[in-house]
Chain A
Protein backbone atom coordinates (compact mmCIF):
# COMPACT_ATOMS: atom_id res chain seq x y z
CA UNK A 1 0.00 0.00 0.00
CA UNK A 2 2.76 2.35 1.03
CA UNK A 3 4.68 1.57 -2.19
CA UNK A 4 1.60 2.24 -4.27
CA UNK A 5 1.11 5.73 -2.85
CA UNK A 6 4.69 6.82 -3.46
CA UNK A 7 4.45 5.64 -7.08
CA UNK A 8 1.27 7.66 -7.53
CA UNK A 9 2.73 10.63 -5.75
CA UNK A 10 5.78 10.69 -8.02
CA UNK A 11 3.57 10.39 -11.07
CA UNK A 12 1.19 13.13 -9.98
CA UNK A 13 4.08 15.40 -9.01
CA UNK A 14 5.41 15.47 -12.58
CA UNK A 15 1.96 15.84 -14.02
CA UNK A 16 0.62 18.69 -11.89
CA UNK A 17 2.73 20.07 -9.04
CA UNK A 18 5.98 20.31 -10.98
CA UNK A 19 4.68 20.35 -14.51
CA UNK A 20 7.87 20.80 -16.54
CA UNK A 21 6.50 23.43 -18.90
CA UNK A 22 4.14 25.53 -16.83
CA UNK A 23 5.84 25.42 -13.43
CA UNK A 24 9.51 24.54 -13.89
CA UNK A 25 9.67 26.34 -17.27
CA UNK A 26 12.12 23.94 -18.87
CA UNK A 27 11.91 22.49 -22.35
CA UNK A 28 9.99 25.46 -23.67
CA UNK A 29 11.62 25.63 -27.06
CA UNK A 30 10.30 22.41 -28.55
CA UNK A 31 6.82 22.84 -27.12
CA UNK A 32 6.32 26.28 -28.64
CA UNK A 33 7.84 25.40 -31.99
CA UNK A 34 5.92 22.28 -32.85
CA UNK A 35 2.57 22.92 -31.17
CA UNK A 36 1.00 24.48 -34.26
CA UNK A 37 -0.82 21.21 -34.95
CA UNK A 38 -2.40 18.70 -32.62
CA UNK A 39 -0.81 15.82 -34.53
CA UNK A 40 2.72 17.19 -34.04
CA UNK A 41 2.00 17.48 -30.33
CA UNK A 42 1.06 13.80 -30.15
CA UNK A 43 4.22 12.61 -31.90
CA UNK A 44 6.55 14.96 -30.07
CA UNK A 45 4.94 14.10 -26.72
CA UNK A 46 5.30 10.37 -27.30
CA UNK A 47 8.91 10.68 -28.49
CA UNK A 48 9.98 12.82 -25.54
CA UNK A 49 8.16 10.61 -23.04
CA UNK A 50 9.82 7.51 -24.50
CA UNK A 51 13.28 9.04 -24.17
CA UNK A 52 12.51 10.43 -20.72
CA UNK A 53 11.21 7.16 -19.28
CA UNK A 54 13.98 4.95 -20.66
CA UNK A 55 16.86 7.28 -19.85
CA UNK A 56 15.47 7.78 -16.32
CA UNK A 57 15.22 4.03 -15.77
CA UNK A 58 18.69 3.25 -17.17
CA UNK A 59 20.36 6.03 -15.22
CA UNK A 60 18.63 5.03 -12.00
CA UNK A 61 19.69 1.43 -12.58
CA UNK A 62 23.37 2.20 -13.13
CA UNK A 63 23.63 5.18 -10.79
CA UNK A 64 25.85 3.34 -8.30
CA UNK A 65 28.55 2.70 -10.92
CA UNK A 66 28.68 6.21 -12.37
CA UNK A 67 31.71 8.19 -11.17
CA UNK A 68 30.59 11.58 -9.97
CA UNK A 69 33.01 13.67 -12.04
CA UNK A 70 31.95 12.34 -15.44
CA UNK A 71 28.26 11.85 -14.81
CA UNK A 72 27.07 14.52 -17.27
CA UNK A 73 28.78 12.97 -20.34
CA UNK A 74 27.42 9.57 -19.31
CA UNK A 75 23.89 10.94 -19.01
CA UNK A 76 24.24 12.54 -22.41
CA UNK A 77 25.40 9.32 -24.04
CA UNK A 78 22.48 7.38 -22.54
CA UNK A 79 20.00 10.03 -23.65
CA UNK A 80 21.55 10.31 -27.11
CA UNK A 81 21.19 6.57 -27.72
CA UNK A 82 17.45 6.68 -27.03
CA UNK A 83 17.04 9.80 -29.15
CA UNK A 84 18.77 7.98 -32.01
CA UNK A 85 16.22 5.15 -31.69
CA UNK A 86 13.35 7.65 -31.93
CA UNK A 87 15.05 9.48 -34.80
CA UNK A 88 15.48 6.35 -36.92
CA UNK A 89 12.06 4.91 -36.03
CA UNK A 90 10.19 8.08 -37.01
CA UNK A 91 12.22 8.39 -40.20
CA UNK A 92 11.38 4.81 -41.16
CA UNK A 93 7.69 4.65 -40.25
CA UNK A 94 6.38 8.23 -40.38
CA UNK A 95 8.42 10.17 -42.98
CA UNK A 96 5.95 13.10 -43.30
CA UNK A 97 5.95 13.64 -39.54
CA UNK A 98 9.74 13.41 -39.50
CA UNK A 99 9.91 16.12 -42.16
CA UNK A 100 7.68 18.43 -40.15
CA UNK A 101 9.44 17.91 -36.83
CA UNK A 102 12.85 18.14 -38.54
CA UNK A 103 15.66 19.32 -36.34
CA UNK A 104 13.53 19.00 -33.20
CA UNK A 105 14.06 15.26 -32.99
CA UNK A 106 17.89 15.43 -32.55
CA UNK A 107 17.26 18.39 -30.25
CA UNK A 108 15.46 16.15 -27.75
CA UNK A 109 19.02 15.36 -26.55
CA UNK A 110 19.46 18.87 -25.24
CA UNK A 111 15.86 19.23 -24.12
CA UNK A 112 16.39 20.57 -20.62
CA UNK A 113 13.60 18.42 -19.15
CA UNK A 114 15.42 15.18 -19.80
CA UNK A 115 18.84 16.20 -18.54
CA UNK A 116 17.28 17.99 -15.57
CA UNK A 117 15.36 14.86 -14.54
CA UNK A 118 18.43 12.66 -15.03
CA UNK A 119 20.61 14.92 -12.92
CA UNK A 120 18.03 16.08 -10.40
CA UNK A 121 15.98 12.94 -9.89
CA UNK A 122 17.02 9.66 -11.51
CA UNK A 123 20.59 9.95 -10.24
CA UNK A 124 19.38 9.94 -6.64
CA UNK A 125 16.41 7.59 -6.67
CA UNK A 126 15.59 3.94 -7.33
CA UNK A 127 14.36 2.51 -10.60
CA UNK A 128 10.70 2.39 -9.69
CA UNK A 129 10.45 5.99 -8.59
CA UNK A 130 12.48 7.08 -11.60
CA UNK A 131 10.00 5.26 -13.84
CA UNK A 132 7.07 7.01 -12.18
CA UNK A 133 8.84 10.35 -12.42
CA UNK A 134 9.59 9.83 -16.12
CA UNK A 135 6.01 8.84 -16.88
CA UNK A 136 4.58 11.76 -14.92
CA UNK A 137 6.90 14.36 -16.42
CA UNK A 138 6.31 12.95 -19.89
CA UNK A 139 2.54 13.00 -19.39
CA UNK A 140 2.66 16.57 -18.08
CA UNK A 141 4.72 17.67 -21.08
CA UNK A 142 2.49 15.86 -23.57
CA UNK A 143 -0.64 17.26 -21.96
CA UNK A 144 0.49 20.88 -22.31
CA UNK A 145 1.57 20.19 -25.90
CA UNK A 146 -1.88 18.79 -26.70
CA UNK A 147 -3.68 21.76 -25.15
CA UNK A 148 -1.49 24.23 -27.02
CA UNK A 149 -1.77 22.27 -30.27
CA UNK A 150 -5.55 22.07 -29.94
CA UNK A 151 -6.02 25.80 -29.24
CA UNK A 152 -3.64 26.92 -31.96
CA UNK A 153 -4.89 24.59 -34.68
CA UNK A 154 -8.54 25.27 -33.88
CA UNK A 155 -8.18 29.06 -33.81
CA UNK A 156 -5.62 29.30 -36.57
CA UNK A 157 -7.14 27.03 -39.21
CA UNK A 158 -10.71 26.64 -37.97
CA UNK A 159 -10.52 22.85 -37.89
CA UNK A 160 -8.71 19.92 -36.33
CA UNK A 161 -7.05 17.47 -38.71
CA UNK A 162 -5.78 14.24 -37.22
CA UNK A 163 -4.18 11.51 -39.36
CA UNK A 164 -5.71 12.97 -42.55
CA UNK A 165 -9.22 13.02 -41.07
CA UNK A 166 -11.04 16.20 -40.18
CA UNK A 167 -12.46 15.76 -36.71
CA UNK A 168 -13.87 19.17 -36.18
CA UNK A 169 -14.86 22.09 -38.35
CA UNK A 170 -16.04 25.54 -37.34
CA UNK A 171 -18.86 26.97 -39.47
CA UNK A 172 -17.80 29.11 -42.49
CA UNK A 173 -18.51 32.65 -41.17
CA UNK A 174 -15.56 32.15 -38.81
CA UNK A 175 -12.51 33.55 -40.54
CA UNK A 176 -9.47 31.92 -38.93
CA UNK A 177 -6.68 34.36 -38.03
CA UNK A 178 -3.58 32.63 -39.34
CA UNK A 179 -1.45 34.32 -36.69
CA UNK A 180 -2.23 31.49 -34.29
CA UNK A 181 -0.47 28.83 -36.32
CA UNK A 182 2.42 31.22 -37.02
CA UNK A 183 5.18 32.07 -34.59
CA UNK A 184 3.72 34.95 -32.52
CA UNK A 185 0.65 32.82 -31.81
CA UNK A 186 2.76 30.33 -29.88
CA UNK A 187 4.08 33.01 -27.55
CA UNK A 188 0.63 34.55 -27.11
CA UNK A 189 -1.10 31.24 -26.38
CA UNK A 190 1.56 30.20 -23.91
CA UNK A 191 1.52 33.58 -22.13
CA UNK A 192 -2.24 33.41 -21.75
CA UNK A 193 -2.13 29.84 -20.43
CA UNK A 194 0.46 30.85 -17.85
CA UNK A 195 -1.48 33.92 -16.82
CA UNK A 196 -4.60 31.77 -16.38
CA UNK A 197 -2.65 29.39 -14.16
CA UNK A 198 -1.26 32.30 -12.11
CA UNK A 199 -4.75 33.71 -11.66
CA UNK A 200 -6.05 30.32 -10.54
CA UNK A 201 -3.21 30.03 -8.02
CA UNK A 202 -3.85 33.52 -6.66
CA UNK A 203 -7.55 32.76 -6.27
CA UNK A 204 -6.68 29.61 -4.39
CA UNK A 205 -4.23 31.44 -2.14
CA UNK A 206 -6.93 33.91 -1.14
Chain B
Protein backbone atom coordinates (compact mmCIF):
# COMPACT_ATOMS: atom_id res chain seq x y z
CA UNK B 1 0.00 0.00 0.00
CA UNK B 2 1.61 3.27 -0.98
CA UNK B 3 2.09 6.08 1.50
CA UNK B 4 -0.36 8.63 0.06
CA UNK B 5 -3.16 6.06 -0.11
CA UNK B 6 -2.59 5.09 3.52
CA UNK B 7 -2.84 8.72 4.60
CA UNK B 8 -6.02 9.05 2.55
CA UNK B 9 -7.50 6.03 4.34
CA UNK B 10 -6.62 7.41 7.77
CA UNK B 11 -8.21 10.74 6.88
CA UNK B 12 -11.37 9.24 5.40
CA UNK B 13 -11.73 6.79 8.27
CA UNK B 14 -11.54 9.56 10.85
CA UNK B 15 -13.83 11.85 8.85
CA UNK B 16 -16.68 9.56 7.79
CA UNK B 17 -16.40 5.90 8.67
CA UNK B 18 -15.67 6.36 12.36
CA UNK B 19 -17.29 9.79 12.57
CA UNK B 20 -16.64 11.06 16.05
CA UNK B 21 -20.15 12.34 16.71
CA UNK B 22 -22.54 9.94 15.07
CA UNK B 23 -20.66 6.65 15.13
CA UNK B 24 -18.49 7.04 18.20
CA UNK B 25 -20.77 9.25 20.33
CA UNK B 26 -17.86 11.36 21.53
CA UNK B 27 -18.62 15.06 22.22
CA UNK B 28 -22.40 14.85 22.17
CA UNK B 29 -22.81 17.73 24.61
CA UNK B 30 -21.87 20.43 22.06
CA UNK B 31 -23.95 18.61 19.43
CA UNK B 32 -27.07 19.01 21.53
CA UNK B 33 -26.10 22.24 23.28
CA UNK B 34 -24.47 24.47 20.66
CA UNK B 35 -26.00 23.36 17.39
CA UNK B 36 -29.14 25.48 17.48
CA UNK B 37 -27.81 28.01 14.96
CA UNK B 38 -25.65 27.51 11.90
CA UNK B 39 -23.44 30.48 12.70
CA UNK B 40 -22.47 29.36 16.19
CA UNK B 41 -21.85 25.85 14.88
CA UNK B 42 -19.36 27.17 12.36
CA UNK B 43 -17.56 29.10 15.11
CA UNK B 44 -17.43 26.03 17.31
CA UNK B 45 -16.19 23.81 14.49
CA UNK B 46 -13.37 26.20 13.64
CA UNK B 47 -12.23 26.50 17.26
CA UNK B 48 -12.25 22.73 17.66
CA UNK B 49 -10.18 22.22 14.51
CA UNK B 50 -7.65 24.73 15.76
CA UNK B 51 -7.35 23.46 19.34
CA UNK B 52 -7.44 19.80 18.36
CA UNK B 53 -4.53 20.11 15.92
CA UNK B 54 -2.42 21.91 18.50
CA UNK B 55 -3.39 19.52 21.29
CA UNK B 56 -2.42 16.43 19.31
CA UNK B 57 0.92 17.93 18.30
CA UNK B 58 1.75 18.83 21.90
CA UNK B 59 0.59 15.46 23.24
CA UNK B 60 2.60 13.65 20.59
CA UNK B 61 5.75 15.51 21.56
CA UNK B 62 5.10 14.90 25.27
CA UNK B 63 4.45 11.18 24.72
CA UNK B 64 7.40 10.48 22.43
CA UNK B 65 10.06 12.65 24.03
CA UNK B 66 9.10 12.73 27.73
CA UNK B 67 6.63 10.06 28.86
CA UNK B 68 7.79 7.12 26.77
CA UNK B 69 11.59 7.48 27.31
CA UNK B 70 11.03 7.84 31.06
CA UNK B 71 8.72 4.82 31.10
CA UNK B 72 5.91 6.60 32.94
CA UNK B 73 3.43 6.89 30.06
CA UNK B 74 1.16 4.08 31.19
CA UNK B 75 0.04 5.78 34.38
CA UNK B 76 0.66 9.46 33.72
CA UNK B 77 -0.88 9.92 30.30
CA UNK B 78 -4.32 11.02 31.54
CA UNK B 79 -3.22 13.94 33.75
CA UNK B 80 -0.49 15.00 31.32
CA UNK B 81 -2.73 15.10 28.24
CA UNK B 82 -5.58 16.88 29.97
CA UNK B 83 -3.26 19.48 31.48
CA UNK B 84 -1.67 20.08 28.08
CA UNK B 85 -5.11 20.62 26.58
CA UNK B 86 -6.32 22.89 29.39
CA UNK B 87 -3.24 25.10 29.28
CA UNK B 88 -3.25 25.19 25.48
CA UNK B 89 -6.84 26.38 25.49
CA UNK B 90 -6.00 29.07 28.03
CA UNK B 91 -2.94 30.12 26.05
CA UNK B 92 -4.84 30.20 22.75
CA UNK B 93 -7.50 32.36 24.33
CA UNK B 94 -4.97 34.92 25.58
CA UNK B 95 -3.05 34.87 22.29
CA UNK B 96 -6.11 35.45 20.12
CA UNK B 97 -7.36 38.17 22.45
CA UNK B 98 -4.09 40.02 22.03
CA UNK B 99 -3.52 39.47 18.32
CA UNK B 100 -6.96 39.59 16.78
CA UNK B 101 -9.85 41.00 18.84
CA UNK B 102 -12.49 40.36 16.10
CA UNK B 103 -11.52 36.70 15.92
CA UNK B 104 -11.63 36.57 19.70
CA UNK B 105 -15.16 37.92 19.70
CA UNK B 106 -16.16 35.31 17.14
CA UNK B 107 -14.44 32.36 18.83
CA UNK B 108 -14.01 33.53 22.41
CA UNK B 109 -17.02 32.04 24.12
CA UNK B 110 -16.38 28.57 22.71
CA UNK B 111 -12.79 28.31 23.78
CA UNK B 112 -13.26 27.55 27.50
CA UNK B 113 -15.92 25.01 26.58
CA UNK B 114 -13.43 23.09 24.51
CA UNK B 115 -11.35 22.05 27.54
CA UNK B 116 -14.13 19.75 28.61
CA UNK B 117 -14.94 18.73 25.08
CA UNK B 118 -14.19 15.04 25.12
CA UNK B 119 -13.39 15.07 21.39
CA UNK B 120 -10.07 16.83 21.93
CA UNK B 121 -8.83 14.42 24.58
CA UNK B 122 -10.18 11.45 22.62
CA UNK B 123 -8.44 12.46 19.40
CA UNK B 124 -5.16 13.15 21.19
CA UNK B 125 -5.23 9.85 23.11
CA UNK B 126 -6.14 7.75 20.09
CA UNK B 127 -3.65 9.38 17.77
CA UNK B 128 -0.75 9.31 20.23
CA UNK B 129 -1.04 6.42 22.69
CA UNK B 130 -0.99 2.90 21.19
CA UNK B 131 -3.93 0.68 22.03
CA UNK B 132 -6.91 2.96 21.51
CA UNK B 133 -7.16 3.44 17.75
CA UNK B 134 -10.03 1.49 16.16
CA UNK B 135 -9.16 2.04 12.48
CA UNK B 136 -8.19 -1.02 10.48
CA UNK B 137 -5.08 0.58 8.93
CA UNK B 138 -1.38 0.06 9.52
CA UNK B 139 -0.77 2.97 11.84
CA UNK B 140 2.74 3.78 13.08
CA UNK B 141 1.96 6.66 15.45
CA UNK B 142 4.19 9.09 13.55
CA UNK B 143 3.56 12.82 13.74
CA UNK B 144 2.18 13.33 10.20
CA UNK B 145 -0.20 10.41 10.67
CA UNK B 146 -1.38 11.73 14.01
CA UNK B 147 -2.01 15.14 12.47
CA UNK B 148 -3.92 13.77 9.49
CA UNK B 149 -6.03 11.64 11.79
CA UNK B 150 -6.78 14.61 14.04
CA UNK B 151 -7.71 16.91 11.17
CA UNK B 152 -10.02 14.22 9.86
CA UNK B 153 -11.68 13.89 13.26
CA UNK B 154 -12.08 17.67 13.61
CA UNK B 155 -13.53 18.09 10.12
CA UNK B 156 -15.92 15.21 10.74
CA UNK B 157 -17.04 16.95 13.92
CA UNK B 158 -17.58 20.24 12.07
CA UNK B 159 -19.42 18.61 9.18
CA UNK B 160 -21.96 16.87 11.39
CA UNK B 161 -22.35 19.87 13.68
CA UNK B 162 -23.21 22.17 10.78
CA UNK B 163 -25.55 19.69 9.06
CA UNK B 164 -27.29 19.11 12.36
CA UNK B 165 -27.68 22.84 12.99
CA UNK B 166 -29.24 23.31 9.55
CA UNK B 167 -31.82 20.63 10.29
CA UNK B 168 -32.55 22.05 13.72
CA UNK B 169 -33.18 25.53 12.33
CA UNK B 170 -35.88 24.01 10.14
CA UNK B 171 -37.26 22.12 13.09
CA UNK B 172 -38.14 25.31 14.92
CA UNK B 173 -41.14 25.84 12.68
CA UNK B 174 -42.30 22.27 12.19
CA UNK B 175 -45.06 20.55 14.16
CA UNK B 176 -43.52 18.15 16.69
CA UNK B 177 -45.47 15.95 19.13
CA UNK B 178 -45.64 17.69 22.47
CA UNK B 179 -43.63 15.20 24.50
CA UNK B 180 -40.85 15.15 21.89
CA UNK B 181 -40.28 18.92 21.82
CA UNK B 182 -36.72 20.09 22.37
CA UNK B 183 -34.03 17.54 23.12
CA UNK B 184 -35.89 14.27 22.35
CA UNK B 185 -36.59 15.22 18.72
CA UNK B 186 -32.96 16.26 18.36
CA UNK B 187 -31.97 12.76 19.41
CA UNK B 188 -34.38 11.22 16.90
CA UNK B 189 -32.75 13.29 14.17
CA UNK B 190 -29.34 12.22 15.39
CA UNK B 191 -30.54 8.62 15.10
CA UNK B 192 -31.54 9.16 11.45
CA UNK B 193 -28.23 10.86 10.63
CA UNK B 194 -26.35 8.09 12.41
CA UNK B 195 -28.25 5.55 10.31
CA UNK B 196 -27.14 7.39 7.19
CA UNK B 197 -23.52 7.43 8.34
CA UNK B 198 -23.63 3.71 8.98
CA UNK B 199 -23.86 3.37 5.22
CA UNK B 200 -20.15 4.23 5.13
CA UNK B 201 -19.24 1.19 7.23
CA UNK B 202 -16.74 -1.18 5.61
CA UNK B 203 -16.05 1.34 2.86
CA UNK B 204 -12.62 0.60 1.36
CA UNK B 205 -12.17 -2.24 3.85
CA UNK B 206 -11.90 0.00 6.87
Contacts and interface: CB of A to CB of B under 8 A. Distances in A.
B83 interface: yes
A112 to B, nearest CB: 6
B24 A33 contact: yes
Contacts of B190: 187
Interface in B63-101: 74-79, 81-83, 86-87
A127 B122 CA distance: 32
Contacts of B34: none
B95 to A, nearest CB: 18
Nearest to A190: B187
Contact of B117 (A103, A110, A199): A110
B86 A187 contact: no
Contacts of B184: 191-192, 194-195, 198
Contacts of A33: 24-26
Interface string B173-206: 0000111110111011011101101100000000
Task: Report, as a range, how many residues of chain B touch the other chain.
Answer: 35 or more
A73 to B, nearest CB: 6
A80 interface: yes
A84 interface: yes
Nearest to A200: B179
A188 B188 contact: yes
Contact of B116 (A73, A83, A115, A186): A115
A198 B79 contact: no
A73 B86 contact: yes
B118 interface: yes
B121 A112 contact: no
A162 B118 CA distance: 29
Of the listed residues A29, A81, A192, the one surrounded by the most CB atoms of chain B closer than 10 A to its CB is A29
Interface in A181-205: 182-188, 190-192, 194-196, 198-199, 202
A62 interface: no
Contact of A29 (B25, B76, B83, B198): B25
Nearest to A186: B25
Contacts of B179: 195-196, 198-199, 202
A177 to B, nearest CB: 12
B86 A28 contact: no
A29 B28 contact: yes
A147 interface: no
Contact of B29 (A28, A81, A102, A103): A28
B23 interface: yes
24 contacts: A29-B29, A72-B115, A73-B87, A76-B86, A80-B83, A84-B78, A84-B79, A103-B132, A106-B121, A106-B125, A109-B82, A110-B117, A110-B121, A112-B29, A115-B116, A182-B198, A183-B197, A184-B191, A187-B194, A188-B187, A190-B187, A194-B187, A195-B177, A202-B179
Given A29-B26, A202-B178, 9 more contacts: A25-B33, A26-B29, A28-B32, A33-B25, A72-B86, A103-B126, A183-B194, A184-B192, A198-B179
Interface of A: 25-30, 32-33, 72-73, 76-77, 80-81, 83-84, 87-88, 102-103, 106-107, 109-112, 115, 179, 182-188, 190-192, 194-196, 198-199, 202
